[in-house]
Amino acid sequence: MSNPLGKNRILIVDDEESLREILSIMLHREGYLVDAAIDGAQAVARMREITYDLVISDIKMPRLDGFELLRHIKERTPETVVIMITAFSSTEEAVEAMKRGAYDYITKPFKNEEIRLIIKNALERRALRQENQELKKELGKRYSFGSLIGKSKAMQEVYDLIQKVAGSRANVLVTGESGTGKELVAKALHYNSDRREKPFVPINCGAIPENLLESELFGHEKGSFTGAVQQKAGLFEVANGGTLFLDEIGELPPMMQVKLLRVLQEREFRRVGGTRDMHIDVRLIAATNKDLEIEVGRGGFREDLFYRLNVIRIALPSLRERREDIPLLVEHLFRKLTDTEEVRVSDGVMRRLLDYHWPGNIRELENFLERCVVLGQTGEITEDQLPPQINGRALPCPGQIDQIPETGLDLDEYLGKIEKDILLKALEKTGGVRKKAAELLGITFRSIRYRLAKFGVEADGEEEE
């Protein structure tokens, strides 16, 4: 039975009539909807028809005592708050009831104000718990898609795109840096499609030797090569009707690119050593951390295959491009690692996590949290658990590059720019005082003076060594 007035509904259970009447009158005046039962058995019968927010029950009653009633409530409606009533001389029983799930207890004789306060606190706690549960459900709906977590605009756009294309047969190319969750996107596409009951088959193209890759993908006939002692189905066959996920597609050797292109064009293939074409129904999702368009320009990746794969592209942002998701990810990943309800992170520690550039993205964040679990073994991340690169004790290189340009690199000029940038940042932090800047960088005053002069930099706040 629902409560149209939105008032809290309370059930009083006691075999003493005068006590039931006193509590009923008092709680009616407080604005609660109140029912009463003479014992546990009658209370159980009432609760088959009505869900109560709070139950106040005596422990010693005929037919069904308070302990049995408490057990029934926790099994049927665990969100119902239970307060036990006991004689002053039997508080041990009330404490035992709390161990079994009761919220609190009151002793006879009691003061009305005491009961009002206990009930008020109990119902406020219940409302807060329900609000938190609803909030977590809402966060789950709005900020996740499968195992993907994030409330940032960039991730919301990814979710929208997954939703739109999950049911399509079109090939999808997932791009993004290592550790951004490309396989999670592939799984989200598969499990939100009508192929969800069929296999999801992942393979890392860069992890299998080139001479074994063809057999792995297409299978082989018995005796087709040394070691082929029996017929073997390839991953395309295994994934038939479902989804094949080709991770690190940019590592695919040129000859395999040709064979894959034929499969995508004809929807058929042959096993190694076979003579019969095999037709398949497979949705292909590929992923790469490389820029395939650059690879095409260099001749490292076939242009026609690129266009076949790049029908729909889902570009995953790096973690540093979605810093607002870090608190949500920390909570989600920490719960996954420890099965705890919450993780405690101070503002200072969270600021460090938000400021760090996370070159390894979500994978690096998860590895860091796993380290915290092993070292801390509590539901809290503390300052001393932070590794140097996150704690600011190890300075990341501001000019980090992924690869040497084709035209080469002037190393002295490059390192000089980095050194000058660090010196200027140190001076900015110390208000132009060179001695303090030198201390900040762990060098002597004479050294910083020489280095600044080398770059023609003047500083305010002069002071001699």
Based on the domain organization, do 326 and 439 belong to the same domain? no
At residue 380, what are phi and psi to the nearest 5 degrees? -135, 140
Out of 52-56, 244-248, 281-285, 357-361, pick the least confident. Answer: 357-361
Which whole number is the average pLDDT over 380-408?
66
> Is 146 a member of any domain?
no
Query: Is 60 exceeded by the pLDDT of residue 162?
Result: yes
**Number of domains forming the structure of the chain:** 4
Domain final residue, candidates 139, 160, 194 = 139
> Is 283 a member of any domain?
yes
Based on the domain organization, do 367 and 437 belong to the same domain? no
Within a 10 A sphere around the Cβ of 183, how many other Cβ atoms?
Answer: 17
The reported pLDDT for the residue numbered 143 is 47
| The residue to which tokens 């992942």 are assigned | 202
Based on the domain organization, do 173 and 298 belong to the same domain? yes
The reported pLDDT for the residue numbered 435 is 86
The reported pLDDT for the residue numbered 136 is 56
Domain boundaries, position 97:
9-139
**CATH number of the domain residue 14 falls in:** 3.40.50.2300
Which whole number is the average pLDDT over 444-450?
84
Better-predicted residue by pLDDT, 334 or 156: 156
Q: Give CA–CA dist 339/279, Å, rounded.
A: 45
The reported pLDDT for the residue numbered 174 is 96
Based on the domain organization, do 104 and 205 belong to the same domain? no
CA atoms within 13 A on the CB side of 101: 18
pLDDT tens digits, 28-77: 998 999 999 999 999 999 998 888 999 999 888 888 888 999 999 988 88
> Is 164 a member of any domain?
yes
Domain final residue, candidates 269, 299, 315 = 315
Based on the domain organization, do 266 and 171 belong to the same domain? yes
Based on the domain organization, do 168 and 303 belong to the same domain? yes
Which whole number is the average pLDDT over 119-125?
88
> Is 461 a member of any domain?
no
One DSSP character per residue, 98-138 reads HHTT--EEEEES--HHHHHHHHHHHHHHHHHHHHHHHHHHH
Query: Is 90 exceeded by the pLDDT of residue 232?
Result: no
Q: Give CA–CA dist 116/136, Å, rounded.
A: 30
Based on the domain organization, do 285 and 326 belong to the same domain? no
Based on the domain organization, do 131 and 13 belong to the same domain? yes
Does this model's pTM top 0.75? My answer is no
**CATH number of the domain residue 285 falls in:** 3.40.50.300
Based on the domain organization, do 241 and 306 belong to the same domain? yes
Q: Give CA–CA dist 334/415, Å, rounded.
A: 39
Based on the domain organization, do 178 and 264 belong to the same domain? yes
The full length of the chain comes to 465
The reported pLDDT for the residue numbered 395 is 46
Query: Is 90 exceeded by the pLDDT of residue 306?
Result: yes
Query: Is 80 exceeded by the pLDDT of residue 338?
Result: no
Query: Is 50 exceeded by the pLDDT of residue 394?
Result: no
Better-predicted residue by pLDDT, 338 or 168: 168
Query: Is 80 exceeded by the pLDDT of residue 183?
Result: yes
> Is 280 a member of any domain?
yes
Based on the domain organization, do 286 and 323 belong to the same domain? no
**CATH number of the domain residue 343 falls in:** 1.10.8.60
Based on the domain organization, do 199 and 251 belong to the same domain? yes
pLDDT bin (cut points 50, 70, 90) of residue 336 is: confident
pLDDT mean across residues, the chain: 84
> Is 1 a member of any domain?
no
> Is 158 a member of any domain?
yes
Better-predicted residue by pLDDT, 376 or 240: 240
